[in-house]
Structure 1
Amino acid sequence: MPIYLYWGEDDFAIAKAVDALRDRVLDSNWVSFNYDKIPPDQSDAVIVALNQAMTPAFGAGDRLVWLVDTTLCQQCPPELLAQLERTLPVIPESCVLLLTTRNKPDGRLKSTKLLQKCAGKNVREFATIPPWKTDELVRHVREAADDVGVKLTGDGAEMLAQAVGNDTRQLYAELGKLRLYAAGRSNQAIGAEDVASLTISSTQNSLQLAAAIRTGDAATALAIVSDLIHRNEPGLRIVATLIGQFRTWLWVRLMMDAGEADERIAQAAEVGNPKRIYFLRQEVKNLRFEQLQKALPVLLELEISLKRGAQEMPALQTKVIELCQVLS
């Protein structure tokens, strides 16, 4: 039962994984016969996919049937579940059924449990890394650099992570340029200075917005908000980053006041690298716990208003000014 389930918001990472699976499964000379990509708007898409998955491969290689953006892990009528239960266990070994979805599978559904049982270790999550988890972003950069064949120094990896954030598509685009650059450098590792000069970095990001709010710099914060919105950054994503950053600062300030060691602070604040606590201490040393505590309800109010349909620009501007006043 060669069944794969890929899910998550990182569309580019899923696309790369699909391409890798396709290259592994299909013979290049028989792709037109053995590859079926079934879009979600196709009538009876699931039934079509199951029927195709039961069709033996032609010629060399195996068959790949890709059910794109399926909702089977969010909703599944009883008659469709019955069809899955009959078909999935008997799919030929020469056929691969791939299901992809952006949404997290609902573990309570029988269809999800069935797919997880049949797919086993072939269930993979492709989640977007939260922008405030800098350690994970650097690790992601290192893994991608190894995949592309680019050697980066430690500060080079950190600079690239800062430049591209959690945008996997941009990360691979920048690594492509760095690989060409490295070809003429006798295989030397690329450092932060070269990364900064060669890569395209967003001039403003949500973490810079959090830093401006932290210092009470309303003018800078409003300028960053304007830049983010004009670059089509979703308001809810901006707020999610701010909430994550302020929660981290709140935990650090609370544990500092309690006299805890860096290791304990890192554990409480969910910071993977305890060495980063030194810098977080510096960021919150001029703030009181009460200020950070008051900031979170403001951010939660902003999140609720955006989810209720408030216009992003005025809602963000109003709450950013309020936050700067709380923290100044």
Structure 2
Amino acid sequence: MISILIGNDTYAIEREVEKFKTQTHPLWRDFNIHRFDASSLDIAISAAASVPFGVGSKLIVVENCDFKQFGETGLELLQILPHLPTTTHLVFTAAVIDKRLKVVKHLLLFGKLKEFTLIPPWRTDLIESAIAATAKQMNLSIARDAVSYLAVAIGNDSARRVSELEKLAIYAAGDRITKESASALVPATTANSFQLAEALLRGQASVAIKVLDELLSRAEFPLAIIATLQTQFKTWLWVKAALISGKKSDSEIASLCRLSNPKRLYFLKQEVQAVSTNCLSQALSILFDLEIALKTGEKPDSILSALLRITQLTK
């Protein structure tokens, strides 16, 4: 069997790999599970082509693929896919996939594609549904208002969703989980980069300082924070520019602004109503300069001063 696991929800992908591991024989598991980086595709394919040690099946995981790196050499190596032993389960993991690539087309001929995408943090309705579904899988009884609280407290963090529900299950000991017990055991530390972007857009310096401090205290990667801010401000700039240019059709604006969820446009329009394109473009310029500074050795301490400059632009 061949599986291709794609998406930005790395926790969900790892849980899927763990499921595959349980399908190997427990006595021979340590000998028949192998993980390789995508740069070692030749070694991974060689391992996949061999029979398992002892009895049962073997699992070969090729991680961090972008598929472009395989090239013609990788495509040639993957010609063996239809001839792999039936006892081999070959798994490829990647953040994204380009189905136009020859190597990807070949993989999809013989493999099963599964996507694991994090729920957008602003879709609290979907986050609530995911929490309720996970609780049901764990046979937990949970009150509706407790689910709503957890959606705000946990956000779209799938790993934390599972760990917090496991903690609540132990505390509840079979009883119904209430909002009171959820709020007592699950702190609402949900500061994320989108909240930081909103604070910057509204010129709320004190809120921005608080959110940034919480993000950094949780060891969030500074460049990842900046990348999210850049994406959000680019989206705001595109929406504002589209509105100023006279575009009235929501579907047309959503297409121009590359919005995967057109329903989000309603909120974006409200958010940029009182902000100028000049302000948004200046904010983006500051963020790009900050990215370059961090990549060239600037200390993360410089983030705060740069972000405070943005709040001065937008308030």
State if a TM-score over 0.5 links the two structures. yes
Q: Distance in 2 between matches of 1:29 and 1:161?
A: 41
Deviation of the 1:303 alpha carbon: 3.7
Partner of 2:27: 29
Partner of 2:60: 66
From 176, 180, 192, give the equivalent of 2:166.
176
Q: Distance in 2 between matches of 1:97 and 1:77?
A: 19
Q: Distance in 2 between matches of 1:284 and 1:162?
A: 20
Partner of 1:98: 91
Amino acid at match of 1:29: L
Change (3 A) 1:154 1:77: same
Superposed CA offset, 1:189-248 (max 9, x none):
x34333221113326433443443344332332233233223322234334444565646
2:200 counterpart SS class: helix
Note the 1:49-198 alignment, pairs <5 A.
49-57=44-52, 61=56, 63-71=57-65, 73-85=67-79, 87-101=80-94, 103-119=95-111, 122-185=112-175, 188=176, 190-198=177-185
Partner of 1:46: 41
Partner of 1:18: 17
Deviation of the 1:117 alpha carbon: 1.9
Amino acid at match of 1:139: S
2:51 counterpart SS class: coil
Consecutive unaligned residues in structure 1, runs of 5 or more: none
Change (3 A) 1:72 1:92: farther
1:100 counterpart SS class: strand
Deviation of the 1:99 alpha carbon: 2.0
Normalising by structure 1, we get a TM-score of 0.74
Contact kept in structure 1, 2:230 and 2:288, CA below 8 Å: no
Amino acid at match of 2:291: L
Contact kept in structure 2, 1:128 and 1:166, CA below 8 Å: yes
Deviation of the 1:88 alpha carbon: 0.5
Contact kept in structure 2, 1:135 and 1:273, CA below 8 Å: no
Deviation of the 1:18 alpha carbon: 0.6
Change (3 A) 1:281 1:228: closer
Q: Distance in 1 between matches of 2:182 and 2:285?
A: 36
1:98 counterpart SS class: strand
Partner of 2:310: 323
From 192, 201, 205, give the equivalent of 2:188.
201
Contact kept in structure 2, 1:40 and 1:70, CA below 8 Å: yes
Deviation of the 1:176 alpha carbon: 0.5
Alignment partner of 1:306 is 2:296: no
1:75 counterpart SS class: helix
Contact kept in structure 2, 1:250 and 1:289, CA below 8 Å: no
Amino acid at match of 2:77: Q
Consecutive unaligned residues in structure 2, runs of 5 or more: none
Deviation of the 1:10 alpha carbon: 2.7
Amino acid at match of 2:211: I
Amino acid at match of 1:216: G
Q: Distance in 2 between matches of 1:249 and 1:80?
A: 40
Contact kept in structure 2, 1:149 and 1:179, CA below 8 Å: no
Q: Distance in 1 between matches of 2:292 and 2:125?
A: 29
Identity %: 26
Q: RMSD of the alignment, in Å?
A: 4.1
Q: Distance in 2 between matches of 1:77 and 1:282?
A: 43
Normalising by structure 2, we get a TM-score of 0.77
